[in-house]
Amino acid sequence: MTASPPYSTLRQKAIAVLSVMLGLFVFYTSFNGPFESLVQRALFVMTIAALAVLMHPLWHGTRLRWLGILIDTAIVAMVTVSGCYIIANYETIMTDLPWAGPLDMIMAFGTLASVLELARRTSNWVFPMIVALAVAYAFLGYLIPGQFGHRGFDSAYLSEIIFLSDRGLWGMLVNVASTTLAAFVLFGAILLHTGAGETFFDLSARLGGSRPGGAAKIATFASGFFGAINGSTVANVATTGNFTIPLMKRLKYPSAYAGAVEAIASTGGQLAPPIMGTAAFVMAELVGVNYWSIALAGVLPALLFYLGIYSTVHVIARRQGFRPVTADDLPDWRGAMNFTRLAPIAAALGGLGFGVLNGNSVELTACYGMLAMLAAVLVARIANGENPREVISIILRALEAGGKGVVIVGILLVGAQVFVAMINLTGFGVAVTSAVLAIGQGNIWLIAALMAVVCLIAGMGLPTSAAYVMVAAVFAPALIQQGIDPLVVHMFVLYYAALSVITPPVCLGVFVAATIAQAPWIKVAVETLRLGATAYALPMLFLAYPGMLGGGGTEGILLAAVSGVVFAVSIAHLLGGARLPWGGASRLLWALPAGLALLGPWLSVAAAALTLATLVVIARRQLEQRPETAPA
């Protein structure tokens, strides 16, 4: 084995130390409350910028590395000096609204350029290009004729907005990233590193593995569990897909189908309570409601999302003859449910429950969950005979992973905050809203359809948090002005922003799944669209049924739930290819209960449920009468 170069070893140690320090910073401020707003945000940005440079060094391993070191050093120096300047002058900035001088302008645009370069390294070039275009639009808007033009702003004024205020680099989204969001990223990292990852996978295997198409159902459950914690479709696919996709292929599932199951199931995790990825924390700030209200509103849609996937997978498995996972490949219940592995999960949930019932802030609630979890890990593992030093090392690795996990989303939200500031400053969002309303002519469904298409296109190539912020800042007002509840509109945008990650042609989640499955990405994308049909329709149901998100009282919620279940199961049978005995065209009959379920009144929904039940019974008899199908 070749020894690591000294520089590489030193860099890894620096990453570990800074990550742990960031984790401790998040833990401390979650428990004791954040520092003064600009101080908290500046400290956070300085730390994640240094970590991003260390984790993604420029031209690493090439002959240009010496130049990369100079640029990396300049980036860290620029962000650190700017952050220290803000900390030293935060009282003046918040009370006197100072004019920007030449030095301020250098720090403003130098720090912005540094952040955008780090965003390019941690995600891709699309996001920083969009932010740069927004800043250029603020400069040059006076050259644009018509409603999208504006008077333009000079460098000094833009520097005041971007740098010498709490609207730009140190704005509200950065506050969310450094407090609530960071706390739950750290919570998730500790949860996974204390054994929850293995437990979730084992529980998924036991829940779905013994049923037809068991391997696909394992992927559905496992990806949902993991996605709810890590909040990234791409990361989820890369993590769970390395286990679930080979398992499906080993059981003779088509490669494209195996990749698609993982891609769509991983997408739903960041929409599933209680954590709902990272974008939901930003939504709470933008909408102005408590995060737990959003988590509660997301329960029914998440259940319908996964019901649609599970039902489609089940129908395809029955039709194609995909058999269950053999008992030898399933974990033992006793291993999955032992005290050492379950104690941290139970303690974490107990800590969260205590914080919620006690009325504490979201970040303090997360802190209670972390404290309870860490205590349970220490007790359970030491009682199991493990060395206390090993337990401490697990905790340190969890803090390190949590610190690293904050970096990408933190950098993106710093850039996204500048984008939002430019949109608000130039009035671009108002102009877009006017244009959309003029096209829609007051037709809510046409406006919603336009927004859905824009969300899917604008979010391509972007992480969900960044896509959601950008689309919500520009397009959400168009629906809100039609009298629709802001929570409904923002959840609508969040869903389509999440789905953009698997929507062709720029579908990062599909690309990763296709790579693991060794299948053509376009085939994986088509299969993903089929499996995720219910997910693409769900946001439209938010507009039709207030009960989908908890509105309309008990009856409204019940009507939305029954309608949603009938719709999801009907679409699953239609696109899963469930056969009826009257020829190929008779499969279209599955659209009948789906259509009836959308009409609204209880009579129509009852008729839809009865029609669906009748068709399911007929299809099951048809399936039982045919010869055994060999796996495809």
How far apart CA 126 and CA 257 sit, in angstroms, is 29
Q: What H or E segment, with its residue span, contains residue 171?
A: none
Cβ atoms of residues 394 and 194 within 8 Å: yes
Q: Classify the C-alpha dihedral 33-35-41-46 as positive or negative.
A: negative
Asked whether residue 160 carries a pLDDT value surpassing 60, the answer given is: yes
Q: Classify the C-alpha dihedral 117-121-125-130 as positive or negative.
A: negative
Q: Detail the DSSP E strand segments found in 257-396.
A: none
pLDDT band of residue 57 (cuts 50, 70, 90) is very high
pLDDT band of residue 72 (cuts 50, 70, 90) is very high
Amino acid at 593: P
Q: For residue 67, what pLDDT is reported?
A: 94
Asked whether residue 442 carries a pLDDT value surpassing 90, the answer given is: no
Q: For residue 193, what pLDDT is reported?
A: 80
For the stretch 255-313, pLDDT in tens is 999 999 999 998 888 888 877 777 788 888 888 888 888 988 999 999 999 999 999 99
Please tell me what DSSP assigns to residue 332.
Answer: P
Q: What is the average pLDDT score of the chain?
A: 86
Q: For residue 627, what pLDDT is reported?
A: 54
Asked whether residue 558 carries a pLDDT value surpassing 90, the answer given is: yes
Asked whether residue 42 carries a pLDDT value surpassing 90, the answer given is: yes
Q: For residue 579, what pLDDT is reported?
A: 85
pTM of this structure: 0.82
pLDDT band of residue 230 (cuts 50, 70, 90) is low
Q: Which of 64, 450, 335, 375 is nearest to 194 (CA)?
A: 375
pLDDT band of residue 107 (cuts 50, 70, 90) is very high
Determine how many CB atoms are found less than 10 A away from the CB of residue 540.
17
What's the alpha-carbon Rg for the chain, to the nearest Å? 25
Residues in Cβ contact with 332 at an 8 Å cutoff, skipping those fewer than 6 apart? none
Instruction: Give percent above pLDDT 90 in the chain.
Output: 32
Q: For residue 70, what pLDDT is reported?
A: 95
Asked whether residue 542 carries a pLDDT value surpassing 70, the answer given is: yes
